[in-house]
Structure 1
């Protein structure tokens, strides 16, 4: 029992020790718990983060200006809404890189910004207006509508900046940009004019992805490919009833002058109106009889002849082997039409309506025309059959409309020459792709890089700096930075004095402006000190899903406009999915915001947020229903508070180089508990330091215990693994190294062993323990800070500063680590054996551990570590038996082997004796024997294989034979115990 004469300071020490030893320490009154370095009883993320805001707003541009530099640019979040986990992953990875480089003494720069996101932002604001005020953008007019978007932008930008800061990101906010601010607008105009004058931008009428709901061209990245298996009714904007897809329709074309017909198959019967030919493969024997003569078919609606053509690209195995050619609405057909000099007949207009002069189908919506077309074909006896069909349906990700391929006059960038240079940059090693597996995808895309459509028929975005000049005799297009410059160019270059000049009302693709960011964010086209110092960027880190849409275009435009690569390395991370590997989407209800993880949220509040999104027009009624159902299934209890550090650490615990990253909320909560473990270890350390007041001096190996030297060796190894992992961008290995160190090595082992010597009678040893505890925590948190800035800032404030001249790798002692590993393995087997009884064998049962070692070397190690074995196994005593006969004398409550060299038994004084858990079908000894026998069987199969004997080298064969011998010895011992 503790004596009543104990001092208040001693009570404080015991109180701090109590968190790990509650089973055998008294409950100390709260009024005794008081130190000048007091920490809360437990780790509370919200309090820690609010107390350490400096950890996130500290200046980024730091380091030696004459030394190495490291610069990054944040891929700009869209101002469409809140941050998602993909943004959190990007921000965390880049922040880890910045903090790591700062610790290495680099001058660092990290530029933040936001993207205007033309289509996405316009759509979300339009939906909001329609839902809340029943107004369209046309009701407001362009000027007032743009004012609504700017108001939206200003509100969302504040929220996004707040969330980015809360994630602990050390960005240089003085350099913040917005892709439609004055500087970016200047850069966009300059880039367009330069590319136009270099002949790399041109205007042409060509096939583009077209959203009829938006009445705009859209990029490939804004097209979702939906797989449909058989007849499926889908909601389409502007239609009251769902439209059926997933059906193949067979239609007959009559051959002119002959009784035969040719049957074609299509999933879009409404486009029959634009057919200009039917094509078959020249090797298809079914149509051989029609090859020698120019065969014409009769178009049943346009009442004119169309040719039967032969082309090797036609797949004779598809349907009937005959395909309709509709070049104005299909990219494949467009290429065939150009090859065979066929005309283009446009059927569908920009609003999704059928053009005039197409008989009874004129001015109908495209899907009304489809329904009417089916009736018409049936009445004309041309409809042969309708059957289920699997297909890929292109859907606009913004409007949810089915994409049409329409011929529209648009602005294009010629990409082939720039793509070739971008490919050569990677091939030469001037530009490094990480991971390098993406090089093949990079080369394949650039080899087939088509011209880039950069115009959008929107109101929100950079107005295209192109001017149409109409004179008496001709019409010209001029690229200019302003109307005045356009007038001057018209006079100087086209001798137009009084022509009509008007700017194109369209805007530029968002990817055009964002592709300039690596240099426009430094003030390009103007010269600046920043461009000289920090351009090109050292790295571009982003998701692999935009490697072509953004990364490749940054490289192409950077090389073209600045003559240099915009960055030296590209680090591509995977796509965040839920724990089941599903891509996060509103329709699945599995979208999780970083804020939800940081602060926690109930299921009711999750549902409430989703319903608000529906009320604002962001979610449709069907999406709302699916989302609510998905949330209930995936997060029945909501999300517990985890904190920013747990979110960051969890994101970095995954291999970010994988194509897909499965995110588990429970893992976040587990990491929060891990941080609480470090927190409690710090409290224990501070209590010990207060009690023993260790002198401030360097650690001396000669004065330390083996466990002191072991934990310092483990620390040195961990630091080395961490550094090499981050240099290779294997953040998960670095995170795992610190988790193993703090959880398994420091808290579960070393800290527990220090309790043996935390005694006033062992002051020197206790003082050394205190200094080692402090050093491990200080240095560990110094490095862990790149993952957990808030936790590190809070706890390091209570610990001595790190002496960086002290090299932890100097403490690495692999021999000692291997010896302690053997002791820890024995302890693990003992704890496992104790846990398999009901109730588990505890300290109150007075367990005494008997160990028998067959190795003099192991015996000597065990002798040195008897006190630590007792502490780590929570036994009352440890007895080392010298002979097998001595070991076999006792009747043990539990008995097993730890290895082929070591057996152990546990004696208890419990009355009645403890029993194995009733639900177990076999004892731990039985299980271990079975496991050993399986390993032996597997190894014997390997070594007895003829191929193994020929191909395996001598070292491998020797290791396998040694392991087989060890297994034989351990199996023999286990068989004795089981019998």
Structure 2
């Protein structure tokens, strides 16, 4: 037909719609908070492209926005991107090294930052295009970037306020340190790699690979005694910074040394260190004696503090080389120093042994460097009091977490909240607004918006005159999580009072993996800086994995991009993308080879074009609250075929209208009561209304997978495969019944498109414009059309149709055999019901003729016999003898076994302890009815099989 193509073509359908939706703007004059729905999108990092995890979050949020708009809300959904300090700096450094053969230090800070801004502009534009392509109803007029001017103002104000309330302080402390980045990193950027014995790993800034997974036994000689204590360590290079050896006070091997102070000779510092006794030492580990290196180990630091030992004896420089305090090893890379230390210990007779050892190796996820714990001056935010307020907000229900099982994790993590290291030694990020003022020998830190303001603050404290003050701004930048933690209010122009027009947000939806790194910090800083919670609800989605449940990664070569699913991609296209990443320095040669090889195995023919709606539908077909979400491209393609099924059903409906030629005025003043609705019309309307209820409840409860299941069941099974088939003869005959069918077809499509449009907006908008418009003069389509009794009745009829088709299929009976079906009703009531649906059964069973009888022994003369639920048994005759693929009796025996198992399970259920107490009467009644039906069918099938 001219007005709708013969097949669903996603690219054609989607063309132009995303651009139209992207013009969604905020009506600032509204200001009615109870009719607003406010969210911000978790900002994607400007390190690359939008991945499937982003697509899942964006789709969830877009569905919620579209549903709220259906309910009359003004939706305010703010887009933005995150500067992602470390991640972006690393990827641009790789790109520079690959393309220009230079490092950031060779380029200089100013020029390097210009390179990052250029990268940011390119990637941000691509991310935004991808979000628009997904159909997101974002308010682009309020778009932010976490380092734009407004965000910078907010970050500066927040830092100053927290600093002046003594919540931010600078101190020397142990931090996760990446030597190749020369920066502190957060816990989320530390990967714990399990090493199960000797493992060779390439470490940045080392000429050769390093072996990890060994335990070394090293001897410390006891002063004035011809004895020694052997310690076990996986990190002999830190021996230079040992300040003590510790043993457990209950270890019998060392009891004799408790009576007096025991000193041990340090082989490289020419001094003695003490033997100490501490209950935290594990007796079972190695020799039971451990070296204490507080400047490079968190537990050692705590032990050293308890015993009043020196905690500041660092071994490494920021670059990961031995510092100048140890002349013999000075400036050696740490793992080269390890080899020399082991060699020297061996020469001194102090290396007592080496063995394979399982260990956890902390690695920087960004630089792939081995993380060191280093003492460095850093800025810390005190979180304990803010954490208590965040706990309280959830306890009293001001903030609700979905799913609720994350509440316990929320309480546990916040109860153990420690100070947050918020400084990073990078060139990309918000420079910390802190100034060090020096006046003679005195130093003071102040937080200020500018150097001039810093002068004024210092001068007011010290009253020494500006000419004596030397001020330097801290070169460090803030942790990316600090600026992103302000987003619920900073993106609405905080500290201006106008931010309250949109604050707090109604919902924060994001991945569960950043519940603490981002969500908890938004709550802590939101309550502290604004006096109110940042959002009312937290919805956490799972991590998107591949079809086999594996996390998507470069090394596995299983990363699928949304674009590839939407548009389709040949293997050659995918290979080209991988090679581009390698040419840009993002992937190493080994990573590129692995990716290409694994992609060849997983997608030998590439990825078929699925379209945006199929991608959205597939993502939401999973329980998004699950810990992991396994994305299968083949499932996505199946969903494209499902959408094509709806497309074809729409074509049939339009063709039916054209054949029946219903007057437009009749549609404009539609009276459902005036239509001669048959049982199947009423049934499909009941199924429609039931499905709508399930869908809208599912949207409200964030159970999107229940909505997609309901939509698929309705359109596939109920509408296309059942109801539509029953309309064909009446439409073909152009009868009055055909008129009713056409109206019902249009109603089902129109209302069905409304309920599925939040999930699949492109195809539903396209098809909706073609459906004949109607308006009800009386009666609205509501829950009064739900008819549970009729649905049960039709379900039983459809079960009969299924049983007939199955028996035909099992015996290779096809249309050319002109199958005739003889139904034998099990009761007078069954006979009346079957007689009413006789034509429907014939149509849906795809048979030549149907004959109906009351129960009779004549059934045994048929070659093909079976039961069809509790209503009837049936036999099949054909126009020729068919060579059976299966023995009919064996088919019925299998069926009998299944029915008896079902009955047994049900009997166990109703006889279980507490059944009558815990199960309501309606359900109990249904169970008894089901038992009665099963017993009847079992007796019938035994009769025809004997």
* Class of the TM-score when normalised by the shorter of the 2 chains: over 0.9
Q: Which moved more, 1:41-50 or 1:689-698?
A: 689-698
Deviations, residues 455-514 of structure 1 (Å, cap 9, x unaligned): 111111111111111111311111001111111112122224221111111111111111
The answer to whether residue 704 in structure 2 is matched with residue 731 in structure 1 is yes
Residue 924 of structure 1: how far off its partner (Å): 3.3
241, 264, 274: which one aligns with 1:297:
264
- Contact 1:598–1:644 (Cα < 8 Å) also in 2: yes
1:209-358 map, 5 Å = 209-344=176-311, 345-358=313-326
Q: Give 1:876 shift.
A: 1.0
Structure 1 unaligned runs (5+)?
Answer: 1-33
Matched, 1:506 2:476: yes
User: Using a 3 Å threshold, how does the CA distance of structure 1 residues 975 and 359 change in structure 2: closer, same or farther?
Assistant: farther
Whether 1:904 and 2:891 are equivalent positions in the alignment is: no
Q: Assess if the C-alpha contact under 8 Å between 1:852 and 1:883 holds in 2.
A: yes
Tell me which residue corresponds to 1:891: 862
Answer whether contact 1:55 1:789 (CA < 8 A) is retained. no
SS of the residue aligned with 1:587? Answer: coil
SS at match of 1:169: coil
CA shift for structure 1 position 671: 0.5
Measured in 1, the distance between the counterparts of 2:427 and 2:553 equals 27
> 1:527 pairs with 481, 497, 504, which one?
497
User: Residue 744 in 1 paired to residue 717 in 2?
Assistant: yes
Q: Distance in 2 between matches of 1:608 and 1:732?
A: 35
Counterpart contact for 1:52–1:794, Cα < 8 Å: no
Return closer, same or farther for 1:803/1:105 CA change in 2, 3 Å cut-off.
farther
Where do 1:819-858 residues align within 5 Å? Answer: 819-837=793-811, 840-858=812-830
Does the aligned pair in 1 maintain the 2:827–2:855 contact within 8 Å?
no
1:106 to 2:73 alignment: yes
Q: Deviations over 1:390-435 (max 9, x none)?
A: 2211111111111111111111111111111111111111111111
Which of 545, 549, 552 pairs up with 1:577?
545
How far does residue 545 in structure 1 lie from its aligned partner after superposition?
0.6
How far apart are residue 361 of structure 1 and its match?
2.2
Residues 440 and 460 (structure 1 numbering): CA distance in 2 closer, same or farther, change over 3 Å? same
1:789 equivalent in alignment to 2:761? yes
Partner of 2:787: 813
Does structure 1 residue 691 correspond to structure 2 residue 662? no
- 2:689 maps to 716
Q: Does 1:152 align with 2:119?
A: yes
Q: Is the deviation greater in 425-434 or in 383-392? A: 383-392
Q: Shift in Å at residue 292 of structure 1?
A: 2.0
> Which string of whole-angstrom CA distances, capped at 9 and with x for unpartnered residues, describes residues 637-686 of structure 1?
21111010011111111111111111111111010000000000000000
Q: Cα–Cα, structure 1 residues 768 and 362, in superposed 2: closer, same or farther, change >3 Å?
A: same
* Contiguous gaps of at least 5 residues in structure 2: none
Are residues 1:775 and 2:747 paired?
A: yes
1:705 paired residue number:
678
Distance 1:51 1:803, change over 3 A: farther
**Aligned equivalents of 1:58 and 1:820: distance in 2?**
46
**Cα separation, 1, equivalents of 2:554 and 2:866:** 53
Task: Report the Cα offset of residue 878 of structure 1.
Answer: 1.3
Is residue 64–residue 105 contact of structure 1 (8 Å, CA) maintained in 2?
no
In the TM superposition, what is the alpha-carbon distance from 1:126 to its structure 2 partner? 0.7
Q: Report what 2:640 is aligned to.
A: 672
Q: Which residue of 2 aligns with 1:50?
A: 15
| Distance change >3 Å, CA 857–CA 383, structure 1 → 2 | farther
2:168 aligns to what? 201
Offset of 1:953 from its aligned partner?
6.8
Residues 649 and 671 in structure 1, CA contact (< 8 A), matched pair in contact too: yes
Separation in 2, partners of 1:833, 1:51: 49
Query: Matches of 1:270 and 1:282 in 2, distance apart?
Result: 27
Give the Cα–Cα distance (whole angstroms) in 1 for the partners of residues 200 and 129 of structure 2.
42
Partner residue, 1:459: 427
Change (3 A) 1:923 1:57: farther
Equivalence for 2:91: 124
Pick which of 65-74 and 464-473 moved more.
65-74
* Equivalent residue, structure 2, for 1:620: 588
Deviation (angstroms), 1:860? 2.0
SS at match of 1:757: helix
Give 1:916's aligned residue: 885
Q: What is the aligned counterpart of 1:427 among 388, 392, 395? A: 395
Q: Provide the residue aligned with 1:17 in structure 2.
A: none
In the other structure, the counterpart of 1:14 is none
- The aligned counterpart of 1:23 is none
Do 1:929 and 1:974's aligned partners in 2 also have CA atoms closer than 8 Å? yes
- Cα distance change, pair 817–49 in 1 and its aligned pair in 2 (3 A): same
Q: Residue 250 of structure 2 aligns to a residue in which SS?
A: coil
Aligned residues between the structures? 933
Answer yes or no: is 1:96 the counterpart of 2:96: no
| TM-score after normalising by structure 2 | 0.95
Asked if the contact 2:659/2:734 (under 8 Å) is kept, the reply is no
Q: Relative to structure 1, is the Cα distance of residues 949 and 149 closer, same or farther in structure 2, using a 3 angstrom cutoff? A: closer
Counterpart of 2:328 in 1: which secondary structure? helix
Aligned residue for 1:73? 40
Give distance in 2, aligned partners of 1:406 and 1:792: 57
SS in 2 for 1:648: helix
Partners of 1:65 and 1:107 within 8 A in 2: no
- What secondary structure is seen at the aligned counterpart in 2 of 1:180? coil
Q: Distance in 2 between matches of 1:936 and 1:707?
A: 30
Q: 1:124 to 1:414 in 2, by over 3 A?
A: same
Distance in 2 (alpha carbons) for counterparts of 1:836 and 1:240? 69
Match of 1:867 among 835, 839, 842: 839
TM-score by length of 1: 0.92
Q: Decide whether aligned partners of structure 1 residues 698 and 533 sit closer, same or farther in structure 2, where only a CA change above 3 A counts.
A: farther
Asked if the contact 1:226–1:395 (Cα under 8 Å) also holds between the matched residues in 2, the reply is yes
Shift of 1:960: 6.1
Q: Structure 1 residues 636, 761: CA separation in 2 closer, same or farther (over 3 Å shift)?
A: closer
Looking at structure 2, the residues matched to 719 and 551 of structure 1 have their Cα atoms a distance apart, in angstroms, of 33
Per-residue deviation, 1:560 = 0.9
C-alpha change, 1:357 and 1:790, in structure 2 (3 Å) is same
Measured against aligned partners, the alpha-carbon deviations of 1:525-572 in whole angstroms (never above 9, x if no partner) come to: 1222xx232111111111111111111111111111111111111111
Structure-2 separation of matches of 1:852 and 1:384 = 90
Q: 1:939 to 1:257 in 2, by over 3 A?
A: farther
Q: Are the counterparts in 2 of residues 715 and 808 from structure 1 also a CA contact under 8 Å?
A: no
For residues 330 and 116 of structure 1, the distance between their equivalents in structure 2, rounded to whole angstroms, comes to 31
Q: Which segment is superposed worse, 350-359 or 771-780? A: 350-359
Larger displacement relative to structure 2 (397-406 or 964-973): 964-973
2:373 match? 405
Q: Residues 258 and 426 from structure 1, CA distance in 2 versus in 1: closer, same or farther, beyond 3 angstroms?
A: same
In structure 2, do the counterparts of structure 1 residues 949 and 558 end up closer, same or farther at CA, with 3 Å as the change threshold? closer
Whole-angstrom distance in 2 between the partners of 1:411 and 1:308 = 34
> Where does 1:623-642 land on structure 2 (aligned, <5 Å)?
623-642=591-610
Instruction: Describe the superposition over 1:713-736 as per-residue Cα deviations: whole angstroms up to 9, x where unpaired.
Output: 001101111111111111111111
